[in-house]
């Protein structure tokens, strides 16, 4: 799902409020870019093929380094952004 412009702006505001705007951990580039999509992560259960794993989903968004391609993901819940994942207001 693509994040609309308002949601992207809110995410950037929250990252700044929380002090989560550090430079790239891999190459030191100070300019990180918000990926325009919403992601979900699922816990991995050893012994179960990934295609059939169901259960918890963790809504996330990604921030990427345009220089080296390093990506880091942030959980939306702890940042108070979880309602944004379903199109609501935080």
Give 4-56 as a DSSP string.
Answer: PHHHHHHHHHHHHHHT--PPPTTT--S--EEEEEEEEE----TTS-GGG--S-
Sketch the domain layout of the chain as residue ranges: 5-82
- Whether the per-residue pLDDT at 28 is higher than 60: the answer is yes
63/24 Cα distance (integer angstroms)? 9
Q: pTM of the prediction? A: 0.78
Query: 4-27: per-residue pLDDT in tens?
Result: 899 899 999 999 999 999 999 999
Q: Could you tell me if 35 and 63 are in contact, meaning their C-beta atoms sit under 8 angstroms apart?
A: yes
Query: 62-89: per-residue pLDDT in tens?
Result: 999 999 999 999 999 999 888 755 555 4
- Edge-to-edge strand list for the sheet holding 71-75: 33-41, 58-64, 71-75
């Amino acid at each position: 799902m693509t994040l609309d412009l308002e949601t992207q702006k809110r995410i950037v505001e929250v990252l700044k409020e929380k002090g989560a705007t550090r430079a790239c951990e891999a190459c030191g580039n100070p300019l990180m870019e918000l990926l325009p999509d919403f992601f979900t992560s699922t816990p991995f259960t050893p012994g179960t093929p990934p295609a059939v794993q169901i259960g918890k989903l963790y809504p996330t968004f990604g921030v990427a380094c345009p220089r080296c391609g390093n990506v880091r993901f942030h959980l939306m819940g702890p940042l108070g952004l979880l309602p944004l994942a379903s199109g609501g207001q935080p």
